[in-house]
Amino acid sequence: MPRRPTLEFWFEFASTYSYLAAMRIEALAEEAGVGLRWRPFLLGPIFAGQGWTTSPFNLFPAKGRAMWRDLAREAARLGLPPIRRPADFPQNSLAAARVASYGADQPWIGPFTRAVFEAEFARGQSIAEPAAISALLNGLGLDGPAILKAATSEPNKSRLRVVGEEAKSRGIFGAPTFLTEDGELFWGNDRLEQALAWATGDRPPGLA
């Protein structure tokens, strides 16, 4: 049986286009015969390195307005519920990222990731408070308080910092980003299908 290829899915819980990718990626990867590695990370330190103190969608208002409208169109096109914008944007995603980092290889990583994003962008809820994350875990039949406690342990907190350094060193500058085993980087929800195709060996003609 041939070895199943793997695609890394780098995502940030505060990121609108990470939401669109997260809602689709598990089904599309399954269909393509590609395994997934879930790579939650924080964009904040990367943006800070570019001199940004918040999302570019806030720093550049015209870009932000266009993004929210595009997101509404894309959600409709992809069959997702209408976007509900959380009161604060970007949301503080630290608690969610710590839990996802802790559970990245667990069977609940997909359902948990989707549950957080749905709360944030389909119901417009805050995901900033650890209690909100704990409640979402409970809603999946998991032990929210226990997972939250493990996720905020020192080793897991430092793991998330190390992952942030890895993101930088591998050329990641935004989210979502897809990385193939041979190091091909695809940025943005619009490239999900191409990233999966690349992972299976299906490449545009003339490209190595």
The yes or no reply on residue 53 touching its own copies (CB under 8 A) is no
72, 122 in Cβ contact below 8 A? no
Catalytic status, residue 134 = no
85 lies in the site for its own copies, by CB under 8 A: no
107 vs 204 by CB, closer to its own copies:
204
Binding mask 142-171 for its own copies (x = CB under 8 A): --------------------------x--x
Whole-number Å distance between alpha carbons of 9 and 43 = 14
Angle between helical axes of 109-117 and 16-32 (0-180°, round to 10)? 150
Cβ burial of 154 (10 Å; 0-12, 13-18, 19+) is exposed
Number of residues that bind its own copies (CB under 8 A): 30
- Residue choice 24, 104, 185, 200 for contact with its own copies (CB under 8 A): 185
In the complex, the smallest distance separating the C-beta of residue 97 from its own copies, rounded to whole angstroms, is: 20
Strand-pairing partners, residue 84, are none
Q: Which of 58, 60, 124, 140 binds its own copies (CB under 8 A)?
A: 60
Query: Which one, of 152, 143, 52, 48, lies nearest residue 96 by Cα?
Result: 152
Say whether residue 45 binds its own copies (CB under 8 A).
no
Q: Of residues 2, 107, 201, 206, which one binds its own copies by CB under 8 A?
A: 206
| Selected binder of its own copies within 2, 87, 141, 207 (CB under 8 A) | 207
CB of 191 to its own copies, least distance (A): 7
Among 27, 76, 131, 140, binds its own copies (CB under 8 A): 76
Nearer to its own copies among residue 157 and residue 170 (C-beta): 170
Torsion of the alpha carbons at 42, 173, 6 and 160, rounded to the nearest 10: -20
| Residues 102, 105, 111, 115, CA torsion sign | positive
Pairing mode of beta strands 6-11, 35-40 = parallel
What minimum distance in Å lies between the beta carbon of 68 and its own copies? 11
Nearest to 197 by CA among 5, 38, 24: 5
Q: Does 48 bind its own copies (CB under 8 A)?
A: no
Catalytic residue numbers read 15
